[in-house]
Chain A
Amino acid sequence: MLWDWGYALEILPVLAKAAIVTIEATFLGFLIAASLGLVFAIMRMSGPLVAGPVTLLVELVRSTPLLIQIFFLYFVLPKFGVTLDAFTAGVLALGLHYATYCSEVYRAGLENIPRGQWEASTALNLSSFTTFKDIILPQAIPPIVPALGNYLVALFKETPLLSAIAVLELMQTAKILGSETFRYVEPITLVGVIFLIMSLVSAVGIRWVERALNRRTAR
């Protein structure tokens, strides 16, 4: 028999546990991506002394495979005295990688704010911090939520790469189960289905956030 329901049910709790690791990696990674991305975007808007190096870093990260970056953080950094456990290294790599994509999205959002908004802020003597926090970001973020949401889902779907450094997320767990029993059909299929369900759920979630933001901002 190709599909063994008994075995599938037996491994489901193990995979569910691994799914939690996947979700944790996704959210922590995206938290880093979203905040670091904003920092990159703002730094790229300031003087060339700051913008230059940041642009270089962003291009470097964007132009190299995520898997290499994961390996770099996990296997190469210890040579420089920085030892990270697999989960931390993986999450940092995911976060950094997607931060560079997010920074492009933020940049587009920030550039879309009319100059008049900055000028009115200057005329009212708002500090740069207040201008960003109260005037620019609340206008820049809502339109880019869909794009950021896409990267959340993309990041989520890249988490199996963490299996390469033996983080016990879904994919790694499925591989271990498979190698123990020589049955790969059930674990791998279930992992696929779990990813599918979670992707669909998050897509709905993102659309909900989008609508909520539009209700607040569009009139």
Chain B
Amino acid sequence: MNSSDATPMVRFENVTKRYGSLTVIDGLDLSIGRGEKVAMIGPSGSGKTTVLRMLMTLERIDGGVIWVDGERLTHVERNGRLVPADTNHLRRVRGKIGMVFQHFNLFPHMTALKNCMEAPVTVLGMKKREAEERAAELLAMVGLADKKDHFPSQLSGGQQQRVAIARACAMRPKVMLFDEVTSALDPELVGEVLNVIRKLGAEHDLTMLMVTHQMGFAKEFADRISFFHRGKIEEDGKPADIFGNPKNERTRQFLHAVLDAG
């Protein structure tokens, strides 16, 4: 163990995000440890997805600082003052983060293999052959070795999402973000994607943040559950506590609603 193990992998420090007059994230403080698996749950519009999008730098923040792996992501220090980070800084730090989207967002004009090769070749400067070997390994890991030459439109939703996971892994991120990755799938395809995430969690020392409506999966897979409500974390704790004995009234109401519906 070295000292960096104590530094959180991701830290939100009083982060605020507004859309016009609407505050979607309200002074969020959140620390996520190395290798920790955090599931974010809560009603729609509560800001969970925004948290992931801010971390991926898809949304600019209006206040506070986000830290990744012990350094600031959103800001840099210049002459003793914090200023918003420029593109170069953002690119360097966000290289540690990978993201899987609800709607897969695969590149439709590239095969599964090419989807997984594009970033390693153009961003990491990897040799084509090496990138191809690794892409093939990753596709095998997600159980799609035989689909590597297929285009996204020739794959089912579940298969597309597994390619998207392989593609994100190809960049060797330290943090993986999963944004409702099974919400766009037919029910019978959810399992195969969750299995890949389970495998990823078991075999790699990845920090994972997921926004999910799969309460069963969150309970079984996550080390920690964060319940969001109106841009704030209302309750945060171990799955057993949140699901077994929620302290917060809103958590209780939410869980009642979703578990009854399920």
Contact = CB atoms under 8 A, between A and B. Distances in A.
Contact of A120 (B57, B91, B106, B122): B106
Contact of A126 (B97, B109, B122, B151): B122
A125 B123 contact: yes
Contacts of B95: 125
Interface in B58-111: 58, 91, 94-95, 97-99, 101, 103-109
A178 B154 CA distance: 61
B105 A126 contact: no
Main secondary structure of the interface of B (DSSP, over half): loop
A122 to B, nearest CB: 6
A71 to B, nearest CB: 44
Contacts, number: 62
Contacts of B97: 123
* Interface bracket on B: 20 to 34
A127 interface: yes
Contacts of B167: 124
Contact of B56 (A116, A123, A138): A123
A116 B101 contact: yes
A130 B125 CA distance: 12
Contacts of A114: 105
A117 interface: yes
B45 to A, nearest CB: 19
A76 B100 CA distance: 57
Contact of A219 (B103, B118, B153): B153
A182 B101 CA distance: 73
B194 interface: no
A202 interface: no
A123 B91 contact: no
B119 A124 contact: yes
A123 B56 CA distance: 6
A139 interface: yes
A113 to B, nearest CB: 10
Chain A, interface size: which category?
Answer: 10 to 19
B101 A119 contact: yes
Contact of A116 (B103, B109, B153): B103
B153 A125 contact: no
B123 A135 contact: no
Interface string A192-219: 0000000000000000000000001101
A135 B117 CA distance: 13
B163 to A, nearest CB: 12
Contacts of B151: 219
B247 to A, nearest CB: 35
A152 to B, nearest CB: 24
Contacts of A124: 98, 118-119, 123, 167-168, 171
A127 B101 contact: no
A122 B250 CA distance: 35
Given A117-B107, A139-B108, A125 B56 contact: no
B106 to A, nearest CB: 7
Nearest to B170: A124
Interface of B: 56-58, 91, 94-95, 97-99, 101, 103-109, 118-119, 122-123, 151, 153-154, 167-168, 171
What 5 A-B pairs are tightest by C-beta distance, nearest first? A120-B105, A116-B105, A124-B119, A123-B99, A130-B122
18 contacts: A119-B56, A119-B58, A119-B105, A120-B105, A120-B107, A122-B57, A123-B99, A124-B119, A124-B167, A124-B171, A125-B119, A126-B118, A126-B122, A127-B122, A127-B123, A130-B123, A139-B107, A139-B108
Given A120-B106, A120-B107, 9 more contacts: A114-B105, A117-B105, A124-B98, A124-B123, A124-B167, A125-B119, A126-B122, A130-B123, A135-B118
